[in-house]
Amino acid sequence: MKRNLSIFAILFAISFTLACEPTPTGNTTAVASANANNINANIATSSAAPALAELVAIERKAWDDWATRNAAGLEGYMASNFVNVGYNGASDRAAAMKSWTSHKCEMKDLKFSDEAVSQLAPDLALLTFKATGAITCDGTAGPDPMNVSVIYKREGDSWKAVYYQEVPTPDAKGEYGPAPASYDKAAQLASMDPAPQELVTTETKLWETWKTQDQKGFEENLSSDIVVNGAMGRADRAQYLKYAFGSECKVESYNLGPMKAQEIGDGLTMMFYRAAVKGTCGKDTVPPNSIAATIYKRENGTPKAIYFMESPVRD
pLDDT at 154 over 90: yes
pLDDT score at 48:
56
- Give burial (CB, 10 Å; 0-12/13-18/19+) of 256: middle
Average pLDDT over residues 129-137: 94
* Residue pLDDT, tens place only, 36-48: 334 343 433 444 5
For 59-110, how does the pLDDT look when each residue is reduced to its tens digit (9 = 90+)? 999 999 999 999 999 999 999 999 999 898 999 999 999 999 999 999 999 9
pTM of the model: 0.85
| 166, 145 Cβ separation under 8 angstroms | no
Q: Give the distance, in angstroms, between the CA of residue 221 and the centroid of all CA atoms in the same chain.
A: 19
pLDDT tens-digit profile of 13-30? 433 333 334 444 344 434
Check residues 21 and 222 and name the one with the higher pLDDT: 222
pLDDT given for residue 29 in this prediction = 38
CA dihedral 56, 188, 310, 160 (to 10 degrees): -20
pLDDT value of position 187: 79
Mean pLDDT of the chain: 85
pLDDT in tens, 201-216: 999 999 999 999 999 9
pLDDT computed for residue 191 by the predictor: 86
Alpha helices in the chain (DSSP H): 7-19, 28-34, 52-67, 71-77, 93-100, 197-211, 215-219, 237-245
pLDDT at position 270 over 60: yes
Q: What is the pLDDT of residue 1?
A: 63
Confidence tier at 166 by pLDDT (50, 70, 90): very high
203-209: long-range pairs with CB below 8 Å, 24+: 203/256, 203/259, 203/271, 203/273, 203/294, 203/305, 204/256, 206/305, 207/7, 207/254, 207/256, 207/275
